[in-house]
Structure 1
Amino acid sequence: MDVTILHWLQRIGWSAFTWALAGVLLVNMVAVVAFLLRRERSLVNAWTGPVLAANIVLIAIGIGVPVVTSVARLAILGMRGVIPSIAFSPQ
């Protein structure tokens, strides 16, 4: 059972990282394209805050979720030594 959970946690961590990276790239590409099409300084002033906030949230998700899932995986691996029955639980 723990092997299934370990693989699931690893997939969730990498999926969160991949989607967050794609989100950061998408947000920044939209901002650059909008600026290049309009060429207005007011657009940059208006969009800096929301684009920065979106980047911060996406980066926090992209780093935070993999860290949390890695810590959970390490905790499960650590419990294997303490609780021997966790390694071979019947399904």
Structure 2
Amino acid sequence: MDVTVLTWLQSTGWRAFTWALAGVLLVNGVTLFALLWKRERSLVNAWTGPVLAANIVLVAIGIGVPLVTSAARLAILGMRGVIPAIAILPQ
């Protein structure tokens, strides 16, 4: 069972990182495109806050979720030596 959980945790961490990276690139790409297309200084003043907030949230997700899933995987691997019932069973 723990092989399935470990695999799920690893894939969830990488999936969150991938989606967050794609989100950061999308948000910044759309912002850059809009600024270059409109060429108005007022857009910079109006969009700085929301774009910065979106970037902070996406970076926190992209770093936080893989960090938490890696810590959970490490805890499961560490418990194998303490709890005999947790072992890798061949499938």
Q: TM-score range by the shorter chain?
A: over 0.9
Structure 1 counterpart of 2:20: 20
Q: CA RMSD in A?
A: 1.5
- Aligned twin of 1:32: 32
Tell me by how many angstroms 1:88 deviates: 4.9
Alpha-carbon spacing, 1:52–1:3, altered in 2? closer, same or farther (3 Å): same
Match of 2:7 in 1: 7
How many residue pairs align between the two structures? 91
5+ residue gaps, structure 2, are none
- Three-state SS of the structure 2 residue aligned to 1:86 is coil
In the other structure, the counterpart of 1:83 is: 83
With normalisation by structure 2, the TM-score equals 0.96
**SS of match in other structure, 2:80:** helix
Runs of 4+ in 1 over 4 A off after TM superposition: none
SS, match of residue 43 in structure 1: helix
- Between 79-88 and 56-65, the greater mean CA deviation after superposition: 79-88
| Paired position in structure 2 for 1:50 | 50
Q: Which runs of 5+ in 1 are unaligned?
A: none
- Structure with more of its chain in helix, by fraction: 1
Amino acid in structure 2 at the alignment position of 1:57: V
1:84 positional shift: 1.4
